[in-house]
Chain A
Amino acid sequence: MAKPQTIDGIAAQRLPADQYAENFADAHPPLDGHEALVEADRCYFCYDAPCVTACPTSIDIPKFIRQISTGNLNGSAKTIFDQNILGGMCARVCPTETLCEQACVREAAEGKPVKIGLLQRHATDGAMRDNRQFYERAAPTGKKIAVVGGGPAGLACAHRLAMYGHDVVVLESQPKAGGLNEYGIAAYKTTDDFAQAEIDYVTAIGGIEIRHQQALGATVTLDGLCEDYDAVFLGIGLGGVNRLGLAGEDAPGIADATRYIAALRQADDLASLPVGRRVLVIGGGMTAIDIAAQTKLLGAEEVTIAYRRGREDMNASALEQQQAANKGVVIRHWVQPKTIKTDADGVSAVTLEYTENRDGRLVSTGDEITLQVDQLFRAIGQQLDDNLGDDEALASLTMEKGRIRINGTGQTSLSGVWAGGDCATGGDDLTVTAVAEGRDAAEAMHTALA
């Protein structure tokens, strides 16, 4: 009998049952108390610290690290939450190697930055474990605000608004809130149902009602929200997925990476997820890396990422590329899909053409390679959902490059409507920027409502 990994096509249970837990265990296990003290002591408590500047939410990093080292763990957590109420998730998912830790002076000095992410996790985990709540709501303002989308942007916005005494209703299209924290982030970055635990922690402040399966464009309209609420925040992320535009794209075995990851994140039994023997991923961002790494961990024998440009052009950081490679993922640069071959079972092969950069334009070199493929994933970017309704308010939102245009404080072109996170212009598609934008929009809304 063939080993489960070498069965052609798409199949579940490719690995021994006990292998899954090991493969999807916490990628960066937490520091214990002593490790945290030693690591905290490495921080120089810089003046005007570059790590703070590099953090999209401007957490006072030297301060929270010092608070760890003095044994003031709750104070440390509060310092983090003051700026970033999703500091627990950000500690897990931020590409710190391109943010705070890249800026850390110890990176310049010795190539070993202070482990800011792990220290942040140490502090926030402690406070969340004890369910220490640091914020009380201000006196009720009587204002009602609708937050559309319960992802990082929406949650950060809701928390800050609730703190100021406003009543917040979060309208969430999915059965669970959390956005990509719940449905998108790689499973080994956020284990033990952390996304839901964090939502409970954040909403414990009170004044935040999450209404599930309420979708803009389906059950509510922007017109209606503008009428019923004093202000509206749109944090709906990017629900649509870019297509390759190739014939055969709808054949069995071809899927959106984000959909598959969502299913993986919700699966009770990872062994039940069908995965191809030979997996091909098209794309070069975090999503491409994540689907590749996770299908490999589910037991795919060969996983290849095909990216049409070079290593440095990839949105995924060098570290993330390295980590995927360490798991056995092959990353091919300067290739793009040209044709999809299908048979009765679905996709069977993909022909890639080689590309090069000629005078700033990406062109085919004329060379090709054909890979046998059992499962093909699209991971070439998301776009705004196009089923958000067609009412007047929505139509009057100015768009830019497929996203809702906002100014520096999150204000859209429509009075009374703010937006932030992936669905809006200005961000860089990170959890932490979504949090920063949600928080800043809340500040602006609060000022506007005063």
Chain B
Amino acid sequence: MADLRNNFVGIKSPNPFWLASAPPTDKAYNVERAFKAGWGGVVWKTLGLDPHIVNVNGPRYGAIWGADRRLLGLNNIELITDRPLDINLREIKEVKRKWPDRALVTSLMVPCEEPCWQEILKQVEDTGSDGVELNFGCPHGMSERGMGAAVGQVPEYIEMVARWAKSHTRMPVIVKLTPNITDVRYPARAARQGGADAVSLINTISSIISVDLDSFSPEPSIDGKGSHGGYCGPAVKPIALNMVAEIARDAETAGLPISGIGGVTTWRDAAEFLALGAGNVQVCTAAMTYGFKIVEDMIEGLSNWMDQAGHADLDSVIGRAVPNVTDWQYLNLNYVAKARIDQDSCIKCGRCHIACEDTSHQAITNMVDGARHFEVIDAECVGCNLCVSVCPVENCITMEQVPAGETDTRTGETVSPDYGNWTMHPNNPMAAAE
């Protein structure tokens, strides 16, 4: 059995699955249910100063669905906790005492003034929390008040607040980053600069989920009006993965622990975050969609995969894909692949043909000798993988490497055994200049 125990900046949990700071972690009641269900840790719903904020009294969520109403993306206009600070602090203290083996991190968002942070950090420390997460990520409601994403979008503020936090508590400090920026490395560098122990990302992405075409109000609609919300769930995973990888491979933040968040729905998603450098993962939408029980298969699935693949513990997985993330100009241009259609599994839907014919390289037949037949024309195939992406049958179309020494019938050139990238390519003016 693989060892799933997690040690994230000194915070220990029996597994790497934490609930992200959100409704599932807003009260002792929910958090205890989560711990009973097997979650390794939680980041408590973000606390703020009293008087506590209020939420809208109408719909907070909007969603996009697949055909069977599988929830693909969720959007919300909820704010931080709308309960008094002392109630939250008391519950945090009680829950931590009852569940000493689980990670309990408290998320915070207070105005950008040092005394505010100093004060609340002292109070959180009294609860026995394992750490704090600074919420610089919330894209709506709080940012308009100069908090959340408004701080997270200015690296100088991140650095400043992280520094205050570090100087006023001995607890580990995690900085939660917003994806609503152009280059996530800058806020991550700022967090490290300020002394943060780790970053967590992503928070939600600014979004309008849909427009009601009868009332012309954005959804969720409050009395005929809508405002932008934060997008999360399966749809945001690719964006989150990239941001995690960007930080993991950035020289200036190398080694900075990362808690991966965004669309984690299955053990497989979690494994991908770990491979790209996340030390653990946090989950919100998947739990809000299916309830806490999903953690069972997250744990079992990850464990079974690690056993099968021969990974003894999380450290054998974490960061394993990071060296393979590179920039486009370093990709090997001498790697040549062609699509291959397995005629036995082809069901003749013709989607590969029409995709290639209409929108790409005219490299797939639809008719051979008068019969419906789909076959790759090597002399046209650029190996783009579009056909694989649109084929409804798994493994029916595969991309196969053309071995070195053979001729690429498209270019007429012999495939070189050597590595050659854009920086060395004759068409690259920069390369030529060298």
Q: Which residues of A contact B (CB under 8 A)?
A: 34, 37-38, 40-41, 44-50, 69, 105-106, 108-109
- Chain B residue numbers with a CB within 8 Å of A38 are 67-68
B406 to chain A, nearest CB (A): 31
- B348 and A108 contacting across the interface, CB-CB below 8 Å: yes
Contact partner, B348, options A37, A40, A69, A105, Cβ 8 Å: A105
- Cβ contact within 8 Å between A47 and B393: no
CB of B353 within 8 Å of the partner chain: yes
Q: Which of B347, B351, B353 has the most chain A CB atoms inside 10 A of its CB?
A: B347
Task: Indicate whether A48 sits within 8 Å of B350 (C-beta atoms), given known contacts A37-B67, A38-B68, A41-B67.
Answer: yes
Taking a contact as CB atoms closer than 8 A, the residue among B347, B350, B354, B372 that contacts A109 in the complex is B347
In the bound complex, how far is the Cα of B344 from the Cα of A340, in angstroms? Answer: 55
> Shortest Cβ distance from B367 into chain A, in angstroms?
9
CB-based contact A47/B67 at 8 Å: no
Q: In the complex, which residue of chain B has the Cβ closest to the Cβ of A69? A: B67
**Looking at chain A's contact residues, is the secondary structure mostly helix, strand, loop, or mixed?**
helix
In contact, B67 and A40 (Cβ under 8 angstroms) = yes
Cα–Cα, bound, A41→B67 (Å): 6
For residue B67, which residues in chain A have a CB less than 8 angstroms away from its CB? 37-38, 40-41, 69
Cβ-defined contact, B392 with A44, below 8 A? yes
When C-beta atoms are compared, the residue in chain A nearest to B391 turns out to be A44
Asked if B347 contacts A108 (CB within 8 A), the reply is yes
Which chain A residue has the least Cβ–Cβ distance from B65? A37
A44 contacts across to B, CB distance below 8 A: 349, 351, 392
- Whether B58 sits at the interface, judged by CB under 8 Å, is no
Q: Which of A41, A48, A69 contacts B366 (CB 8 A)?
A: A48
Instruction: Please measure, in the bound complex, the distance between the C-alpha atom of A49 and the C-alpha atom of B366, giving whole angstroms.
Output: 11
A sample of 21 inter-chain contacts (CB < 8 A) reads A34-B69, A37-B67, A37-B68, A41-B66, A44-B351, A44-B392, A45-B351, A46-B351, A47-B349, A47-B350, A47-B353, A47-B366, A48-B350, A48-B366, A48-B372, A49-B350, A50-B372, A69-B67, A105-B347, A105-B349, A106-B347
Nearest chain A residue, comparing its CB with the CB of B66: A41
- The complex places the Cα of A38 from the Cα of B67 at a distance, in Å, of 5
A41-B67, A48-B372, A69-B67 are known; give 11 further A-B pairs, CB within 8 A: A37-B67, A37-B68, A38-B68, A40-B67, A41-B66, A46-B349, A46-B350, A47-B350, A47-B366, A50-B372, A109-B347
Q: Give complex CA distance A69, B348 in Å.
A: 22
CA distance A57 to B21 in the complex (A): 58
Which has the most chain B C-beta neighbours within 10 Å: A34, A37, A105? A105
Chain A residues positioned under 8 Å from B366 (CB to CB): 47-48
| Chain B min CB distance to A193 (Å) | 33
**4 closest Cβ pairs, A-B complex:** A47-B350, A41-B67, A47-B354, A109-B347
B32 → chain A closest CB, angstroms:
35
**Across the interface, which residues of A come within 8 angstroms of B349, CB to CB?**
44, 46-47, 105
Interface hub of B349, B350, B351 (most chain A Cβ within 10 A): B349
